Amino acid sequence: MNCKGVIRELSNYIDGDLDPVVKQELERHLEHCEDCTMIMNQTKKTIEILCGSQPVSLSTDVRSRLHAALRQKAGQKPT
């Protein structure tokens, strides 16, 4: 497998979604290609950093409007 092949399969490799033979070929390439190893590691790091962000805290106003709308939908009086 060449560098283009590795990049084409990079996502499937990260997701564990590769045929075992293709996976082995890709890993053999990574053993001797510093550029592809760097891209692979940085892409994994990218996912880790971007997906590690915390859920947004809703402001009191936004939260009040959301719950008021839900209570109205449910036909309940606001508490």
Partner 1 sequence: MGGLLDILNAPSPHRLPSTIARDDEHLLVAAARVGDAAAFEELVNRYEGKIFRLTRNITGNHEDAEDAMQDAFLKAYAHLKDFHGDSRFYTWLVRIAANESLMRLRKRRPNQFSLDEPIEGDTDLFPRELEDWGPTPEQKYAQTEIQGIVGDVIDRLEPEFRIVFLLRDFEELSTQETAEALGISVSAVKSRLLRARLKLREKLNRHFRQGAPN
Which residues form the interface with partner 1 (CB under 8 A)? Answer: 3-4, 7-8, 10-12, 14-15, 17, 35, 38-39, 42-43, 45-47, 49-51, 53-58, 62-63, 65-67, 69-71, 73-74, 76
Which residue lies nearer to partner 1 by CB, 28 or 67? 67
Query: Which of the 8 DSSP states describes residue 2?
Result: -
Alpha helices in the chain (DSSP H): 3-14, 20-32, 34-50, 60-73
Smallest distance, partner 1 to C-beta of residue 55, A: 3
Query: Which of the 8 DSSP states describes residue 76?
Result: P
Which amino acid appears at position 63 of this protein? R
